[in-house]
Amino acid sequence: MATLSETFVKPQAQTAPSRDLSLRQLAWRKLTRNRAAMFGLVLLGLLSAYIIIGSFVFSEEYANHNDLSIRLQPPSMEHPFGTDPIGRDILARTIYGGQISLVIGLASVAISLVVGVLVGAFAGYYGGTVDSLLMRFTEAVLNIPSLFLLIIAAKYMGDKIHNFSLLGREFSGSLIVIILIIGLTSWMYLARIVRSEFLSLKEREYITAARALGVKNFRIIFRHVLPNTTAPIIVAATLGIATAILSEAYISFLGLGVRAPTATWGNMLEDATRYIENAPQIWFFPGLLILITVLAINFVGDGLRDALDPRTLAK
């Protein structure tokens, strides 16, 4: 029969290691226990290796080279993913198209993060008139259908910006338009999240003490309050990348997305509209990569949301 000392000492010994871990370590441990999140991380790692290592195997010139004598070829040893309607290698184009699709996702999310965090932080911290004005503006932008605006902007502004070269590669000017529109129409939900966090955190004792010591508002916002809102920001940014990739795929499928010579997974699907039955390889591989990427990002985002929840870190 267990003694009183064994009854009370054993549970303490089991929980002691958790108390010694930092919040970051606890979050990482919880994330690693989430099988879906780890599966998503593995998929993202494989996709990153695919588009990075693949660019050393195939040149961009080869990816854009067309040869009508081999158009619409099925998958083979020479062309594992087959060829498209003008004889370009689909495998090589998915590699370079994946790079641009991820750049669109990352760049547009970076823009939405900057705008959303600033609007939410100032609205939540200052309150009053500042809060009312910023939130009314946020609600007004939220009522604008972002996909419709993206289609209009891509149609009428995509050709206004000339192609440009960067790091030895040539990019379509429409790439800039799409990144800006997606970024500037996807910050509103993040602003609301950040605002709610600031409304609760600005009343904490350490913020009151900082004000009493004469610390400037900007320093309080960016050094004391904002670091404590990183968890929801990270989750929103992760899921925003998947949304941006899908948004680009939508308008590219309609023929209004990133234009030649720049390849993306979305505009590769545009080429497949007339060959859905006759040449399924044209839509299958880029569509599969979009599906895998979005699923992987959503798995990781859901895992981060659970891992960074302070109410469950100690579990």
pLDDT-based confidence at residue 122 (cuts at 50, 70, 90): very high
Q: What is the pLDDT of residue 8?
A: 42
Give tens-digit pLDDT for 264-289.
888 888 877 788 888 888 889 999 99
pLDDT-based confidence at residue 313 (cuts at 50, 70, 90): low
Mean pLDDT of 182-186: 88
Distance CA 123, CA 128 (A): 8
Of 76 and 11, the structure prediction assigns the larger pLDDT to 76
Q: Is the pLDDT of residue 118 over 70?
A: yes
- List, in order of start, the domains of the chain with CATH numbers: 36-61+89-307 (1.10.3720.10)
Close Cβ partners of 148 (under 8 Å, ≥ 6 residues apart): none
Of 197 and 3, the structure prediction assigns the larger pLDDT to 197
Mean pLDDT of 100-120: 92
Give the percent of the chain with pLDDT over 90.
23
Long-range contacts of 251-258 (CB under 8 A, 24+ apart): 251/147, 251/150, 251/151, 251/154, 251/178, 254/151, 256/151, 256/154, 256/155, 256/158, 257/154, 257/174, 257/178, 258/100, 258/104, 258/172, 258/174, 258/175, 258/178
> What 3 state SS string does the chain have?
CCCHHHHHHHHHHHHHHHHHCCHHHHHHHHHHCCHHHHHHHHHHHHHHHHHHHHHHHCCHHHHHCCCHHHCCCCCCCCCCCCECCCCCEHHHHHHHHHHHHHHHHHHHHHHHHHHHHHHHHHHHHHCHHHHHHHHHHHHHHHCCCHHHHHHHHHHHHCCCCCCEEECCEEECCHHHHHHHHHHHCCCHHHHHHHHHHHHHHCCCHHHHHHHHCCCCHHHHHHHHHHHHHHHHHHHHHHHHHHHHHHHHHHHHHCCCCCCCCCCCHHHHHHCCCCCCCCCCHHHHHHHHHHHHHHHHHHHHHHHHHHHCCCCCCCC
Q: Is the pLDDT of residue 257 over 50?
A: yes
Give tens-digit pLDDT for 130-146.
999 999 999 888 888 77
- For residue 165, the cross-strand partners are 170
Q: What is the pLDDT of residue 9?
A: 44
Residues recorded for the chain: 315
Give tens-digit pLDDT for 151-176.
787 777 766 777 666 666 777 777 88
Residue 236, φ and ψ in degrees, nearest 5: -65, -40
Distance CA 315, CA 34 (A): 13
Q: Which token pair is 298?
A: 């959503």
Give tens-digit pLDDT for 2-45.
443 444 444 444 444 445 566 677 777 888 888 888 999 999 99
Q: What is the pLDDT of residue 12?
A: 45
Q: Is the pLDDT of residue 105 over 60?
A: yes
To the nearest whole number, what is the mean pLDDT of the chain? 82
pLDDT-based confidence at residue 68 (cuts at 50, 70, 90): confident
Q: Is the pLDDT of residue 182 over 70?
A: yes
